[in-house]
């Protein structure tokens, strides 16, 4: 899988508020699947699906010890997504500035 595909998986995973909340919970350290599921009123299979998406994107690592399933945050994919956004931020700001100037120019011509 190339870097762009990995980035797509990260952004797809981050697009869902439940998954973002799970990642926020993991900032404080590893958590069991039960602890991650606790604040949500959704089924265990739905929780499992969310965790699979996060794992596929490389955002979490799941380990099993006896009957406990523990999830740990992996920040490398988030760093890659942040780097991608930062590389494009200047270009986006430049385009917004151009649009702003064009809109002001158009407004000036309609006021005359």
Name the residue with tokens 């270009």: 91
Count of domains observed in the chain: 1
| Angle, helices 44-56/3-14, rounded to nearest 10 degrees | 150
Listed in order, strand segments (DSSP E) in the chain are 31-32, 60-65, 68-73
Q: CATH number of the domain that 28 lies in?
A: 1.10.10.10
Question: Higher-confidence residue: 14 or 111?
Answer: 14
Q: Given pLDDT bands bounded at 50, 70 and 90, which one contains residue 52?
A: very high
Q: In this structure, are residues 85 and 73 in contact, taking their beta carbons and an 8 Å threshold?
A: no
Q: Which domain holds residue 72?
A: 3-111
For residues 45-71, give the mean pLDDT. 94
For residue 99, how far is the Cα from the chain centroid?
28
Per the confidence metrics, is the pTM higher than 0.75?
Answer: yes
Q: Residues 78-111: pLDDT tens digits?
A: 999 999 999 999 898 889 999 999 999 998 876 6
């Amino acid at each position: 899988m190339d870097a762009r595909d990995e980035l797509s998986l990260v952004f797809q995973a981050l697009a869902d508020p439940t998954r973002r909340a799970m990642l926020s919970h993991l900032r404080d350290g590893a958590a069991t699947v039960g602890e991650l599921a606790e604040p949500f009123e959704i089924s265990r299979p739905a929780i499992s699906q969310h965790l699979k998406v996060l794992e596929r994107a490389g955002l979490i690592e799941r380990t099993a010890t006896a009957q406990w399933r523990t999830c740990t945050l992996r920040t490398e994919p988030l760093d890659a997504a942040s780097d991608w956004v930062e590389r494009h931020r200047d270009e986006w700001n430049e385009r917004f500035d151009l649009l702003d100037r064009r809109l002001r120019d158009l407004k000036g011509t309609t006021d005359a």
